[in-house]
Structures are given as C-alpha cells and as structure tokens.
Homo-oligomer: A and B are copies of this chain.
Amino acid sequence: MPKKYIDLETLKYLLYDIHKIEDVLKRERFQEHDLESLNMFIDSVKEFSDRELYPYFKEMDETPAYHKDGTVIVHKQVKTVMQKSGEMGIISASFDYKDGGLQIPFSVVQAAFYIMDAANNNLPGYPGLTSGSAELIIEFGTKELNQTFVPNMLSGTWGGTMCLTEPQAGSSLSDIVTKATPTEDGFYKISGQKIFISGGDHQFAENIVHLVLARIEGAPKGTKGISLFVVPKNRPTSDGTLEYNDVMTVADFQKMGQRGYCTTHLGFGDSDDCRGWLVGEEHKGLKQMFLMMNGARIGVGRGAAAIAMAAYRASLQYANERPQGRKLTSTGKKDPSEKQSLIIEHPDVRRMLLLQKSIVEGSLSLVILASKYHDISTTSTSKEEKEKYNLLLEMILPIVKTYPSEAGAEAVDNGLQVLGGYGFCTDFSLQQYYRDIRIFALYEGTTGIQSQDLLGRKVPMQNGKALELLAAEIMQTIMKASKDDVLKEYAAILGDKLKLSQKVLGHLMPFAMKGNYERYLADANLFMEYLSIVVLGWLWLEMAVDAKVALSKSDKKYSEIFYESKIHTMKFYFKYEVPKTNSLAASLMSDEVVTIKKDKEYII
C-alpha cells in the first residue's frame, strides 16, 4: 500500500494559514481551545486512522458488507471505529458541552473526518451519520428523546441513520408516502419502506436510531406535509431493556464501490408495531432535516475530496518510483542506450499529477472554507455577520458538494491513468478509489439536483445578494493579487471570468422572469461547472498570494518548495482549467435549445 494517504502539511496549511481558523477560535464558544489543542485532536485522529482505518481499506472492499438473517454483516473494524469514535469524542466533537460534546469548531471536525475518509472511506460514515442524527435529536427533539437516545449514540454504542429515500420517490421527496399514524400514547405508528439507507443495520450495533421522514395522516401534499421521527430499530422500555420495534432490514444494496459501507433497504411496521417519536414540529420535517443536510453536503464534498487526495498520493508515489520510457532528444527520437526516466519526468504524467493536485488541494480548501462559514454563521453574535456568512455558505454549498465529487472523480481517473495497466488491477488501490468516489455525485442530491439548487435557488436568493457577497469575497483576492507583479496577470483573468459569469446570468435571467423556468434551468449543470471553476480559481489565487508573501519572508513556516508548488499549481489551474469557462459560457449563451422536450421525441 502507498505510504501516504494524505498530505497533512497541506491540510494544516489550508486550515491555519489560508483559512485562518484561529480567527474562529476567538469566539466565545471555542474559548477553551487553542491551536495546540486542536492540532492534538487532528494528530490523534491521524494516528487513529493510520492504525485502525487505513490498514483495512483493501480488505473491506474485498469482503463487502452483506445481508444475512435479517441483519447486515459488516467488517469487524466497524465495531472498533464506532467504539473509538465514541471514546475519542469524534462523534460528538462539535456538540455543546452540555450535550456531551467538545465544542470543537466544525471546520476542525471536518478536517478530522477528512483524514478518516482518506484513510478508508468505508468507515467514517458510521460515526458520521450517527453524529448527524444525534444532532437532529438534540436540535429539535424533546429533552426526553435526547436523554433516551443521544448518550448511547455519542458513545458509539448505538448507530444512527437518516431515512429519506423511498423506492417510488427517489430524489423527489414530495412523493414520500411513509405513514405516521398518531396514537394516544405519545408515539406514532410508522409504516413504509426506505431505501439506500447508509449504515442502516449491522451485527455490532446494539441499536440503530433512524431519523425518518414520514407523512402524518391527513398532512398536506408535497414537501410541506413531511414530518421527522425518531424510529429506533429497538425501542427502550421502561425497565431499561430493548424491545424490537418492527424495523426490518429487508435487503441490502451491493455496490460498485464503498463496499464495506453498508447500504440497506428498511421496512417499517410490517407487523403494525413500529413506533416513532415526532422530532420538532409537525410538517416541518424536511426543513429540519435540511439544516442537517447542509452539514451532510459538506460531508459529501469532504469525502470525495479525501478520496481524491488518497488517490493522488498513491499515483504520485508510483510516478516517483516507476522507471519507464525516456526523454525525447532534440531529434524527436529516444536514445535506447540512455537510462530509463522515472515516469514523473514525462510532461504528460506531470500534467495528470498537477491536474490531480489542483483539484485535490483546491477541493480541500473549498471544504474548509464552507466549514469556516458554517462556524462563523453559527457562532456569530452579530445578526449582520450571521446573515452574511449564512448566505455565503448557502451560496457555495451546492458547489462544495458537487465540485469535489465530479472533479474529484476526474482526478482519480487521471491517477489511475498514471499507473497504466496496473491502475486497472486490484493489486493497486487506484481502481478502488475510482469505484468508491463515483457515488459522491449521487449522494445527498445528485449533481443535477445540486445544479438546480445553485442556479434555481441560490443565485436568485434575496435578489442575488448571496452571489454578490461571494463576488465581493473573490474581488478581495483579486485586489490583493493585482498588487503582485507575477500574480496580477492571473488576477485579471479571474476578474474577466467573474464578469463573464454576470453576462451569462444576464442571458439566462430573462427566461426566469418570463416564467420559463425549464429553459432557465436546462443548462444548470454547465453553470455549476462554470461557477465552480471561478471559485476554485479564486481559492488557488488566494493560496498563491499567501505563498508569495511567505516566500518573501526570511522566516518560513513551510519549505520554499512547498510554497512554490502552490504558485505553480495555481498557474497550472489557470492554464488548463480556467479556459474551460469560455466554452461553458458559449454553450450557456447559445440560442440552440435541444434538451427541452418538444412534441417530437428525438432521443431514440
């Protein structure tokens, strides 16, 4: 196995130097932490990942989770990781002290999970979803619900899940039909089917606590009639024992990747004895769930970014060790009597490595940025600041979920290609990363859905205020870079692309104004790609600005080559990726309409 699955130095550089998490630490909520204690937390998670996650990466792929006798059999590390995640406070790290948490900034918790994702993406979902569902109970549930369920979840004894998808509805949550019938005993009777439930059941969990979206009888149609329930697999009784709650593990889904992370099909109330407890208000379930979905979507981007990181490290190591071929001489031929080159010396291999580096580190920067926005908006005492960072977060969220998933898959694809035929063989990890990362463009709202969200909801939000705020942030970096002799060229390019995005929106907006939303949103995916490149170009330029400053100082925190590699990768991004905005803009502003269904069917 490759020696390094992560570049910890870059992670810390992005966290501390670029996104300056210490600013966040000044807030009251985090006053008991300092950089040193956070660093210790991160290092302990790294050490834990080295020991308990990474060594089982291949094994968990080769012995996938499977359904047997009404439960799912998972790898033994699921037990270890759940237990340790409880002990180490990973599950509850960002929670309030009063709820058993450590009040660690969300961004630092994301960094910790990123390390675990990179080490073995089959595992972090188990504690991660447990954390997310516990958070829902804490945030919206009654004190009683909290006391009944949360402590066992935070200790890693009980698992937690989110149950949204149903067979007939898929991504269309307005079509959810799982039924909740009120009883006079304070609980609801739940009946229905949920599919694609990650971590939905396994032999090591004493209990699994499902957070289920369902419709109370008589509720309004559509998404406004959906409520949220806690539905445990086993319900605690008054004497402290557990009693089966009629939640059946009907089947599991065998997948192309993430084979050690189980995906289940659950049946609720087949014997009419499944009890659920309402969380928060009636009919507000989706809204509540979506508060958590923001975190979940950052988590998806984070996972994809981490897999792409691990794949990059593996292909970089290979390129540095594998001799093959020779440098071209000035006659355009190769001299067979010369020594073979390492493949990292071939320009095309370098291109594939730099493409990976630009996507991988750019994605990580994006994930940390979003997490920082989250930290600021949730801890701010100023209403204005809260709103600003909330809008910024809302704005970039679909990109945070999508860019690492889509570009990350491309990065891994290039990593695989670096290994040649070996990349396709199961003896090497690249093919596993290639399979694993493919689910991220599907998880928690596909790329299509995220793109509709970006262009359909986030751009028009508050009359474009969120986008304006984002543009202002980007402009700040452009201004800084404009003052540097080398960087001003790139600053100008980025400024142009930002302007061009306005032109693209100027072309599209009239369709929305005229009520032709289908046309407005038809190419939302392309707009997603466009804006993602601008945002990534911004994040790279920001890194280059910082690196330039650092290089001019005699006292450097990191090596010269570390900083120079950041500037170099920024240049790569501007040469190879940023120009793609041209063709995207051309397609977006084309008057040709070919994807909207007309009377005739052209797709045969």
Chain B: CB-nearest residue to A604: B565
Asked whether any CB of chain B lies closer than 8 Å to the CB of A221, the reply is yes
| Contact A594:B565 (CB < 8 A) given known A324-B169, A435-B435, A442-B420 | no
Other-chain residue from B168, B169, B446, B565 in contact with A417 (beta carbon distance below 8 A): B446
A79-87, A114-122, A347-355 - interface stretch: A347-355
A200 → B minimal CB distance (Å): 14
B424 lies within 8 A of A257 (CB): yes
Other-chain residue from B255, B337, B345 in contact with A426 (beta carbon distance below 8 A): B255
Asked whether any CB of chain B lies closer than 8 Å to the CB of A423, the reply is yes
A47-55, A271-279, A466-474, A514-522 - interface stretch: A514-522
Other-chain residue from B354, B424, B592 in contact with A439 (beta carbon distance below 8 A): B424
A340 lies within 8 A of B604 (CB): no
Other-chain residue from B170, B330, B456 in contact with A324 (beta carbon distance below 8 A): B170
B255 lies within 8 A of A331 (CB): no
Q: Which residues from B are CB-within-8-Å of A349?
A: 448
Q: Which residues from B are CB-within-8-Å of A439?
A: 421, 424
Encoded as 1 (CB less than 8 Å from any B CB) or 0, chain A from 559 to 570 comes to 001101100110
- Count copies of this chain in the complex: 2
Asked whether any CB of chain B lies closer than 8 Å to the CB of A242, the reply is no
- Which A residues between 59 and 115 are near B, CB-CB below 8 angstroms? none
Q: Which residues from B are CB-within-8-Å of A353?
A: 603
Asked whether any CB of chain B lies closer than 8 Å to the CB of A203, the reply is no
A579 lies within 8 A of B587 (CB): yes
Other-chain residue from B316, B442, B601 in contact with A421 (beta carbon distance below 8 A): B442
B254 lies within 8 A of A426 (CB): yes
A348 lies within 8 A of B524 (CB): yes
| Contact A328:B521 (CB < 8 A) given known A334-B174, A420-B442 | yes
> Which of A326, A344, A435, A604 has the largest count of B CB atoms less than 10 A from its CB?
A604
A443 → B minimal CB distance (Å): 8
B597 lies within 8 A of A571 (CB): no
Q: Which residues from B are CB-within-8-Å of A571?
A: 592, 594
B354 lies within 8 A of A254 (CB): no
Asked whether any CB of chain B lies closer than 8 Å to the CB of A583, the reply is yes
Complexed CA–CA distance, A424 and B434 (Å): 12
- Which A residues between 10 and 65 are near B, CB-CB below 8 angstroms? none
A336 lies within 8 A of B169 (CB): no
Complexed CA–CA distance, A526 and B168 (Å): 43
| Contact A579:B575 (CB < 8 A) given known A421-B442, A446-B420, A596-B347 | no
Q: Closest 10 A-B residue pairs measured CB to CB?
A: A222-B336, A330-B515, A568-B602, A256-B431, A579-B583, A347-B522, A579-B586, A328-B517, A254-B426, A350-B595
Interface residues of A (CB under 8 A from B): 7, 165, 168-172, 174-175, 195-196, 221-223, 253-257, 316, 322-332, 334, 336-337, 340, 344-351, 353-354, 357, 409, 413, 416-417, 420-421, 423-427, 431, 434-435, 438-439, 441-442, 446-448, 451-452, 456, 512, 515-518, 520-526, 561-562, 564-565, 568-569, 571-572, 574-576, 579-584, 586-587, 590, 592, 594-597, 600-604
